[in-house]
Each structure stands twice: as C-alpha cells, then as structure tokens.
C-alpha cells in the first residue's frame, strides 16, 4: 500500500510538472513576431570551400541516372541557360532534363562567411532548405537524417568513414562528422549575431538511398524495415523481372513515402525522427537548447497526419519552449488554384505558422497583375480573410513570403503578370514565359511589394538574392547561384530553347539592396509594424492606406499602386490633420492640415510617423 501511495504521488508530481511546462509554452515564440526572415538554398548561396565540391560520383544516382562524360562543377558566374561543355554532348536531353545534374558547390562555410552580410541587411532569422545527407542538389531525398550532407562540410571522405561505424537506428552509436561539427559552428555563429536558425524537416518521404529503404531493397520481405514503407509488391526472385513496387510521394518513385497509421508516422519511424530532432535541437544533450536549432520548417506538412504534428510540437517545445515550428500547408487543389486555409494546423497545438502563400498570391494579384488585377478593396478583403481565419498570435508570425525555391522569383513574377501563382512559370511549362529581368517600372513594383512585406502583419521573408535583383522562373530557374558584389558574372544571353531574348547584365543591384535594408530597418525600429493592430482604408482602386498602432505609436502607410502621379486628399480618416509627420522611407517632413494634399509618384509609398 505504501508503495502504491508513493507511485501515485510520483505520478501526480510528474503530471504537475508536465502541466507547468505546458503553461510555460506560449502560443507562439515571442521573438518570431519581430523576426525578419531570409531563406537560403545552400547549394546555391556561396561556395567558400572548393575542396568539398561534389564529384561525378555524387550525381550519377539521381535522375536521369547517367554519368556524363567530362562532368564538372558549373562555374558560379556562368550564363545560367548556357550549356556547359559536358552538357553540350547530351543533345538527346532537354535542358530541363539535365539541370538536376548541375552542382555549383555551395556549402556551410559559404553561409558562415556571409552571416555578416545578412546581419548588415537586417536579417534576424534564417530558414535553410534541407541540409541532411542526400544525392540531390535540393536534399529533399534524404539518405539519412542524422548527418549533414558531407559535401557541405570540410572532409567528405572522412564523413563517409564515420557513417559506416554507426547503427542508423541506434542513436547511442551516432557520432559527429566534420560536416555536423561545421553545422554546429554555423548555429553558434548565427546565435552570436542574434540570428535564429531553422532548417527543413522532410518527414513525409525519403530518398531511395535512405538507409532503411536500402535494407528493404536488399532483403525484401525479410527486412526489419519493411513496415516503414507502403510496399505494393515484393520482388519474386524466381523471375527475371523486378516486381518490387512501393508508394512514392505523389507517385514519385524516387521519394518513397514513410508509413503512417491513424496517428501519423508509425512508432519506429516517429522514435527515429524524434531522436533526430533532439540531436539537432540540443546537440550536447545537457538540457540547454542554446547550442541547437531554433525550430523547423516542415515540408509537405498537410500530407502527414495532424495527430503526428501535435505530438511533434509537444516534443519540440519541451526541448525548447521558444522553438518556432512552421509548416508548408499550401495547395488544397493546385488545378483549381485553391490554397489551404491552414487554420486546423494553427490552433495552438501543432504549428506556430505556415508559409503564407495566400499573402503572396494576394499581393501578386494587387500589384503585379494587369488583366487579372484586383483593386485595393478586394486586396483588403483578402488580407482580412487571412486575419479572420487565423488567431492573431499566429497571424503575426506567418512567413509572409513572395517567392521561394518552389516558385518563380518575385522579379520574374513581375515580368510575367496574369499567370496563376505557381502555374506555368518557366519555359518548360510555358514557352511564352519571359526569362529576362524586369524593367525599371518592374523594379518600382518590387519596391512597393517590399513596403507591403515590411509593414503588414506577419513576418517578412526574403528569398536569397531577391534583395540584389535576382530573377528566374519556377524550379530550377529560381535556384541560380547567388549574385555577389565582388564577382563578375557572364551576361545572360541564352534561352533554354534557343529562342530570341534580351541580353541581361547580371550584377549586384545596390540600389535595390539599400531599399530592402532601409525598409527592414524601419520595420525593426518601429514596433507597431510587427506588433500593432491594423486598420485599412481603400481610397480608390489603386490607392491604399492603412494604420498600424501599438501602445502609443501610430504609423500610417499610403501606397500608390499605379504607374501615374496621383494627388490624395488627406481626410481625417486617412491621416489626422494639424500634425507634423516624417516619411520614414525618404526622411521628408510633412505638416498636414485637415484638407492637405499628398502627391505620390508612380508606385510610390510613404510610411508616416
């Protein structure tokens, strides 16, 4: 009886501690409301260590599964669409069929050496595309989760030797490779600069070289991992054919799907994933997460049972209550241009945020489109619908992006108006797609969009290179090597299908960089732009104003979304009169009366305080 009482006391005490822990976890991390995000595609950001560059052996195991004669690293500054010498020999292959074999050599050291650049820009958080070991350039086909890709680190061969000493399922046998250690250095260097860092977690599927799947390929129904995947048919060793068949992500056999039940990933996979999560969030296992990742971006999150993400959240937040979890919850019906309302994932028990593609589409329709253009009232309706769908806390930490590794770049969206977002957005999908950079008017539109990103509710998110003027269509053309100011780039003169095009000079756009830097600074120095309430006023079809208020700070944003000069009658409902204001963008000072006129140039914005 005494033992039973002690057990009950222990259970009650443990439950109380668990409850206390949960109470200490806020709905969203406090830092995320004021974050300015920057997304990095690591293979294309910066090559600081050529000694770790991939070799031809690293690309033969990906589609189209050939070993090109004379393969070599593609020069960082080369004309994007120009075929390299080894590619010219592959005349039977379309340009887009061979693009996946290219490597430019971006690595972790390259990111570390550019952290001061990001700090100078004003970035406070970075999201990095997958970094775990895999054969592809994008790393969404993991070979393992426990190690960083060896070509991102300083000693690829030594890392392979370390892998081979471990039991992939037994976390107690896992060691730290040279790439792993450099990644931990990257985390430390980010934190030293007050920059948060999250990475992609791809837990819906893996690559065909994933260690557990390889065991199934080898041992078939005798594999102890056969239940980790949905196997339609095992191979019959008595026939010359290979009948082995399994389920891949949206039918893609290169990406075997991980097995789920009614609670999401089955227990053995869940346990493995949680061991991986703990490894990267608390690397030395001392209970202090300051040396680990600050959160996760979860790939194709809607394709994993929500019950798993709820358990995932609990696990992650118990490691670090201030960790940030954002999911890719995007297309409900791509063919009908219907995006998800992500509210089920944002109830306080799963994700803190999602990638806010609904925001991107609304801005595109308002600022970029011509024939399909929406007016300011409809734009406000779109924004208000997002606000209505999501809790205010979650709304303020959504990743307000315009582009990413999965869509055409912002500059190319501007140069190709009136397309559905993420549809027909490169020459392989649409032969009329313009591969050139936008003109000067297009850049004015881009600047206006930056104003919206930095002043509307939600966390602004910049895809690497947008701030220096990079352009490019949908994947793979949105994944060009980063343009740096100290490098000389070839002009873009070629078209993937030999069509006529304008010649574009590829160079660091300092004017645009300074615009981004200034707008980021304005957001960071004025809490109402990240923490404040918002109220809108659609003055006419193309003129929008809105007010952000926090504590005793009020800021008024007025934009002219039209290629004409305009004069705006400033009524009390737009800006209170008989007061002095400073435009935080230009520094120009105004003294408005109740009947003042504000003149704006084409696509000009003012942020009045």
The residue whose two tokens read 């329709």 is: 365
Judged by DSSP in three states, 551 sits in coil
Alpha-carbon span 69 to 252, nearest angstrom? 27
Angle, CA 164 vertex, CA 73 and CA 225 arms, to 5°: 105
The residue whose two tokens read 């935080």 is: 584
Alpha-carbon span 246 to 234, nearest angstrom? 9
Class of residue 564 by CB neighbours under 10 A (exposed 0-12, middle 13-18, buried 19+): exposed
The closest of 383, 379, 301 to 342, measured between CA atoms, is 301
Are the beta carbons of 28 and 397 closer than 8 angstroms? yes
**CB within 8 A of 569, min separation 6: which ones?**
595, 596, 597
Are the beta carbons of 592 and 529 closer than 8 angstroms? no
Is the four-CA dihedral 292, 298, 304, 305 of positive or negative sign? positive
The closest of 101, 109, 110 to 73, measured between CA atoms, is 101
The neighbouring-strand residues paired with 327 are 298, 354
Angle, CA 272 vertex, CA 269 and CA 277 arms, to 5°: 125
Are the beta carbons of 189 and 196 closer than 8 angstroms? no
In this structure, how many other beta carbons lie within 10 angstroms of the beta carbon of residue 450? 23
The neighbouring-strand residues paired with 15 are none
Q: Which two tokens stand for residue 169?
A: 């399922």
Judged by DSSP in three states, 249 sits in strand
Alpha-carbon span 294 to 300, nearest angstrom? 20
Annotated catalytic residue: which of 180, 260, 299, 302?
299
Q: Three-state secondary structure along 411-431?
A: HHHHHCCCCCCCCCCCCCCCC
Q: Which two tokens stand for residue 171?
A: 């976390």
Q: Three-state secondary structure along 301-316?
A: HHHCCHHHHHHHHHHH
Q: Three-state secondary structure along 509-539?
A: CHHHHHHHHHHHHHHHHCCHHHHCEEEEEEC
Q: Examine the residue annotation and report whether 299 is marked as an active-site residue of this protein.
A: yes
Beta strands in 14-120 (DSSP E): 37-40
Peptide bond into 64 cis (omega under 30): yes
Angle, CA 142 vertex, CA 93 and CA 288 arms, to 5°: 145
What CA–CA distances, in Å, run from 379 to 361, 422, 571? 10, 19, 21
Annotated catalytic residue: which of 328, 352, 422, 475?
328
Q: Examine the residue annotation and report whether 53 is marked as an active-site residue of this protein.
A: no
Is the four-CA dihedral 544, 329, 442, 451 of positive or negative sign? positive
Alpha-carbon span 511 to 523, nearest angstrom? 19
CA-based radius of gyration for the chain: 26
So which residues are the catalytic ones?
Answer: 299, 328
């Amino acid at each position: 009886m005494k033992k039973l009482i002690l057990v009950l006391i222990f259970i009650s005490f443990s439950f109380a501690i668990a409850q206390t822990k949960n109470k200490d976890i806020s709905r969203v991390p406090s830092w995320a409301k004021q974050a300015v995000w920057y997304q990095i595609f690591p293979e294309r950001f910066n090559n600081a260590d050529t000694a770790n560059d991939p070799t031809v052996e690293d690309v033969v195991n990906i589609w189209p599964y050939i070993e090109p004669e004379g393969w070599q690293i593609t020069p960082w500054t080369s004309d994007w669409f120009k075929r390299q010498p080894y590619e010219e020999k592959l005349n039977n292959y379309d340009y887009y069929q061979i693009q996946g074999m290219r490597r430019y050599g971006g690595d972790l050291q390259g990111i570390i050496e550019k952290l001061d650049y990001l700090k100078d820009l004003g970035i406070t958080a970075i999201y990095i595309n997958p970094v775990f070991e895999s054969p592809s350039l994008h790393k969404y086909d993991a070979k393992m989760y426990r190690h960083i890709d060896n070509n991102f680190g300083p000693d690829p061969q030594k890392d392979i030797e370390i892998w081979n000493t471990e039991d992939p399922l037994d976390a107690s046998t896992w060691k730290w490779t040279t790439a792993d250690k450099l990644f931990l250095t990257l985390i430390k260097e980010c934190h030293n600069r007050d920059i948060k860092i999250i990475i992609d977690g791809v837990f819906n599927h893996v690559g065909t070289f994933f260690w557990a799947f390889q065991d199934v390929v080898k041992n078939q129904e005798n594999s102890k991992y056969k239940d980790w995947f949905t196997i339609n048919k095992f191979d019959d060793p008595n026939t010359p054919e290979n009948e082995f068949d399994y389920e891949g992500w949206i039918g893609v056999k290169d990406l075997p799907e991980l097995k789920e039940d009614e609670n999401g990933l089955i227990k053995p996979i869940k346990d493995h994933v949680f061991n991986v999560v703990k490894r990267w969030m608390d690397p030395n296992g001392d209970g202090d997460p300051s040396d680990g990742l600050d959160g996760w971006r979860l790939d194709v999150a809607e394709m994993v049972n929500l019950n798993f993400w709820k358990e995932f959240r609990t696990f992650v937040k118990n490691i670090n209550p201030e960790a940030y979890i954002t999911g890719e919850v995007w297309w409900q019906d791509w063919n009908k241009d219907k995006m998800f309302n992500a509210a089920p994932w944002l109830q306080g028990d799963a994700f803190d945020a999602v990638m806010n593609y609904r925001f991107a589409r609304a801005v595109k329709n308002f600022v970029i489109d011509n024939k399909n253009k929406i007016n300011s009232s409809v734009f406000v309706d779109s924004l208000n619908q997002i606000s209505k769908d999501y809790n205010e806390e979650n709304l303020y930490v959504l990743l307000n992006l315009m582009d990413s590794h999965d869509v055409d770049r912002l500059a190319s969206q501007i140069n190709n108006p009136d397309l559905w977002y993420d549809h027909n957005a490169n020459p392989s999908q649409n032969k009329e797609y313009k591969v050139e950079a936008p003109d000067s008017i297009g850049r004015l539109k881009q600047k206006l969009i930056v104003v919206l990103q930095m002043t509307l509710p939600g966390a602004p998110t910049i895809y690497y290179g947008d701030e220096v003027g990079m352009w490019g269509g949908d994947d793979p053309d949105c994944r060009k090597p980063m343009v740096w100011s100290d490098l000389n780039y070839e002009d873009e003169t070629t078209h993937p299908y030999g069509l006529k095009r304008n010649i574009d000079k590829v160079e660091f756009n300092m004017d645009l960089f300074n615009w981004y830097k200034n707008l980021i600074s304005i957001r960071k120095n004025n809490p109402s732009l990240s923490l404040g309430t918002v109220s809108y006023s659609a003055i006419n079809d193309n003129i929008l104003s809105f007010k952000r208020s926090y504590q005793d700070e009020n800021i008024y944003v007025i934009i002219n979304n039209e290629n004409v000069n305009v004069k705006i009658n400033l009524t009390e409902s737009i800006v209170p009169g008989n007061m002095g204001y400073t435009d935080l963008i230009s520094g120009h000072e105004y003294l408005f009366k109740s009947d003042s006129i504000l003149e704006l140039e084409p696509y000009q914005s003012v942020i009045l305080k």
